[in-house]
Amino acid sequence: SRGAALLTQSALVVGRELEMMNVFLGYEQANRYKIMDPQGNHIGYIAEEEGFGKSISRQLLRTHRKMNATILNTQGEVAFKIVRPYSLVNSRIFIYTADDELVGEVQQRWNLVRRKYDLFVGTNQFASIDTPFLGWDFNLQDEHGGTLGNVSRNFVGFAREIFTDTGEYVLRMDAVDGNSRGMTLDERAVTLACAVSIDFDYFSRHSSHG
């Protein structure tokens, strides 16, 4: 499938692209992410849907707003679709195939001192994340406590980060320890959606945590 080329990598680097309006005016533009393989080759991107109504929503609701985005390969073909409904407290993000079939979802679990998520393929939970409040490493743990994979925040450079709305996330999707199985393609797709949700919830310009 179109998404398989993205998801068969041992790791992905997802980086939010710099938007100058965000930097200088505090104006929230549509999110756009580049997807790279471990060697830094551009293999896809994630683009949020545009539109005047969506632009107004971005300014008023910020990180609580609804977001629809498309994951594309470098040929511009749709690999997956992401839907993040409006949320007041706990965020949810859904990922679908190009044909609008549900792959899975990520549910945030609000906690005063932890960063928590539950990850599902269909209705079956396959992993959870439980990270300290200021943590930048989000380990995906299975029901036995084994680490299936990892989403980690790596800054491009301190000086640049002060003035930009950009950041990079490394998604390690091969088994991290010898006690864990490898993730399926569907689980890897949900992990990719999880990285977007983490960025929205904790590291975007208008997140109360980022």
pLDDT at 18 over 80: no
* Topology of the domain covering 4-203: Porin (2.40.160)
Q: How confident is the model at residue 60 (pLDDT cuts 50, 70, 90)?
A: very low
Q: How confident is the model at residue 63 (pLDDT cuts 50, 70, 90)?
A: low
pLDDT at 204 over 70: no
Q: What is the mean pLDDT of residues 25-45?
A: 77
Chain mean pLDDT for the chain? 79
- Could you tell me if 39 and 200 are in contact, meaning their C-beta atoms sit under 8 angstroms apart? no
Q: What is the mean pLDDT of residues 81-99?
A: 91
Mean pLDDT is lowest, of 1-10, 32-41, 99-108, 188-197, for 1-10
- Could you tell me if 181 and 174 are in contact, meaning their C-beta atoms sit under 8 angstroms apart? no
**Interatomic CA distance for residues 165 and 108, integer angstroms:** 22
* Per-residue pLDDT, 70: 94
Sequence letter at residue 83: V
pLDDT at 1 over 70: no
* Per-residue pLDDT, 201: 84
Measured from the Cβ of residue 45, the count of other Cβ atoms closer than 10 Å reads 20
* pTM for this predicted structure: 0.82
* Per-residue pLDDT, 59: 40
Tell me the sheet residues that pair with 97: 80
Domain borders along the chain are 4-203
Mean pLDDT is lowest, of 58-72, 87-101, 144-158, 185-199, for 58-72
pLDDT at 104 over 80: yes
Sequence letter at residue 92: R
Mean pLDDT is lowest, of 49-53, 98-102, 112-116, for 49-53
Q: Does residue 95 come out as left (phi exceeding 0), alpha (psi in the -120 to 50 range) or beta?
A: beta
